[in-house]
A and B are shown apart, each in its own frame.
Chain A
Amino acid sequence: MTRGMSAPALWLLGHLAHRNEPLAGDLVEQFRGRRSSTWLWAQIVCAIAMGEFRHPRVPVALNLTPIDPIVAEWLISRRLTPRRVNLSSPGEGVGGLGLMMLGFLLSTVVPDVWWFVMGGIVCGVALGTMLAFRRRHQPMATDGRIHTGQLRDLFV
């Protein structure tokens, strides 16, 4: 990759920088020092995938591509504050693209791992069913809601 390819990378970095200024500054400093465009692109893509340029007011699933900062700014300019979605990703800070890539990699490299995923889902459903049955024998609060204490009792 030629050094000319660095212009879009720097443009993207400039748009993402306000979310993590120290990291953006480090990448610029290194690139201006001796690093190649390939290195810069790799660092930016890794940083986005790891959620280091994540916008706290945008759903995790949208934190994935160069359109993300544009979407974020648009949402903020419209005074829309979407609720942040926790996708319970396996790695800290892994966004929607990270999850999709993980799913793709698992499917191609070790497809058998999906049996474990299915097993986890089945176990989760079984546990939920068991807890629901146990809850039927627990006294409910007078307002009909489940309170923290009752939930805690289910696990004791």
Chain B
Amino acid sequence: MPRHLLTDFELMILLATLRVGDSAYGVPIATEIGRTGGRRVVVAAVYAALDRLERNGLVTSNVGEPTPERGGRAKRFFQVTPQGIRAVKETQRALVALWKGIPELKGGNV
């Protein structure tokens, strides 16, 4: 199976989806990226990335029940697939390998 290295945004989306857990849909994922990752994101960008990840088999989605506070519109819940988890780990390994042995990045804060 070919290696699938993720972009930084895809990696953030997958990690946020894993952190949120079973109730992961657009808003909590975007909120988690902003709260933990310190990056403000547009909700549409989250959906665009999740659509791409779903096409690549890294996440799956299912539609929930419509709720009144959403104007009667359903949520779309996302789950990371085993292939997605593998892609996260591979990306982490690649980044850590690149990190090692760089003198400028050793020590305290710059």
Question: Hey, which bits of chain A sit against chain B, CB under 8 A?
Answer: 14, 17, 20-30, 32, 42-43, 46-47, 50-52, 92-93
B94 adjacent to chain A (CB < 8 Å) = no
CB distance from B44 to the nearest CB of A (A): 4
The 3 closest A-B pairs by CB, nearest first: A25-B73, A47-B44, A22-B76
Q: What's the dominant secondary structure at chain A's contact region?
A: helix
A selection of 5 A-B contacts at a CB cut-off of 8 Å is A22-B74, A26-B70, A29-B27, A47-B44, A52-B44
B26 adjacent to chain A (CB < 8 Å) = yes
Q: Which residues of A contact B102 (CB under 8 A)?
A: none
Q: Is the CB of B70 within 8 A of A25?
A: yes
Q: A52–B69 Cα gap in the complex (Å)?
A: 21
Contact A25-B47, Cβ < 8 Å, known A30-B27, A43-B42, A47-B42: no
Q: Is the CB of B47 within 8 A of A52?
A: yes
Q: A32–B27 Cα gap in the complex (Å)?
A: 13
Q: Which residues of A contact B45 (CB under 8 A)?
A: 46, 50
Q: A43–B44 Cα gap in the complex (Å)?
A: 7
Residues 39-87 of B contacting A (Cβ, < 8 Å)? 42-45, 47-48, 52, 63, 66-67, 69-71, 73-76
Q: Is the CB of A93 within 8 A of B74?
A: no
Q: Is the CB of B26 within 8 A of A23?
A: yes
CB distance from B101 to the nearest CB of A (A): 34
Q: Is the CB of A21 within 8 A of B73?
A: yes
Q: Which residues of A contact B25 (CB under 8 A)?
A: 22, 26
CB distance from B73 to the nearest CB of A (A): 3
Contact partner of B69 (CB less than 8 A), chosen from A22, A29, A43, A46, is A29
Q: Which residues of B contact A32 (CB under 8 A)?
A: 69
CB distance from B37 to the nearest CB of A (A): 18
Q: Is the CB of B70 within 8 A of A28?
A: yes
Q: Which residues of B contact A27 (CB under 8 A)?
A: 43
Q: A52–B43 Cα gap in the complex (Å)?
A: 10
Q: Which residues of B contact A51 (CB under 8 A)?
A: 48
